[in-house]
């Protein structure tokens, strides 16, 4: 039995393709965010009241951006853009408080995805 040489490092995870797994996690988080944002417009308007035209437009723009970013997770800048998207969602809480709450939830999910990415890919 031979011991591994210093250059022969074992992979950090047991995944066959860790890059694809991490991209899938990021894309899945963004797709879920997009769906929740779009489905949340009407309940916010009915129950919460004051979601005006600018608030609805910001939700739609953020949902579309999240869906587009989900498809671009192969790009190196997509993770940074996803972080900016979370900040924008949190800032859209100026239109309605429930958007800030969604920003906190999805911001936390994004931070976890970034943590998993760093853990798996190094």
pTM, to two decimals: 0.83
For residue 86, the model assigns a pLDDT of 96
Q: Is 87 helix (H, G, I), strand (E, B) or coil?
A: helix
CB 29 within 8 A of CB 67: no
Which residue matches tokens 């929740």?
36
Is the confidence at residue 1, as pLDDT, over 90? no
Q: Angle at which helices 18-43 and 97-121 pack, to 10 degrees?
A: 170
Calpha distance 2→21 (Å, rounded): 31
- Measured distance CA(115)–CA(85) in Å, rounded: 17
Cα–Cα nearest to 63, from 36, 42, 87, 103: 36
Write the pLDDT tens digit of every residue in 3-56. Answer: 555 555 555 667 788 899 999 999 999 999 999 999 988 887 787 667 778 888
What local confidence, expressed as pLDDT, does residue 68 receive? 96
- What digits encode the pLDDT tens for the residues 72-112? 999 989 999 999 999 999 999 888 888 899 999 999 999 99
- Look at residue 82 in the predicted model and tell me its pLDDT: 96
Give the DSSP per-residue string, 56-112. Answer: HHHHHHHHHHHHHHHHTTTSTTHHHHHHHHHHHHHHGGGT-HHHHHHHHHHHHHHHH
Please give the Cα distance from 28 to 22 (Å, whole number): 10
């Amino acid at each position: 039995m031979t011991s591994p040489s210093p250059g022969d490092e074992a992979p950090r995870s047991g995944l066959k393709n860790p890059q694809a797994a991490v991209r899938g996690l990021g894309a899945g988080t963004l797709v879920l965010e997009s769906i929740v944002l779009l489905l949340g417009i009407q309940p916010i308007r009915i129950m919460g009241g004051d979601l005006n035209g600018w608030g609805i437009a910001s939700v739609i723009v953020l949902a579309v951006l999240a869906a587009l970013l989900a498809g671009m997770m192969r790009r190196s800048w997509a993770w940074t853009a996803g972080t900016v998207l979370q900040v924008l969602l949190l800032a859209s809480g100026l239109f309605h408080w429930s958007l800030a709450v969604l920003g906190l939830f999805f911001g936390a999910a994004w931070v976890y995805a970034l943590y998993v990415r760093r853990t798996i890919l190094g």
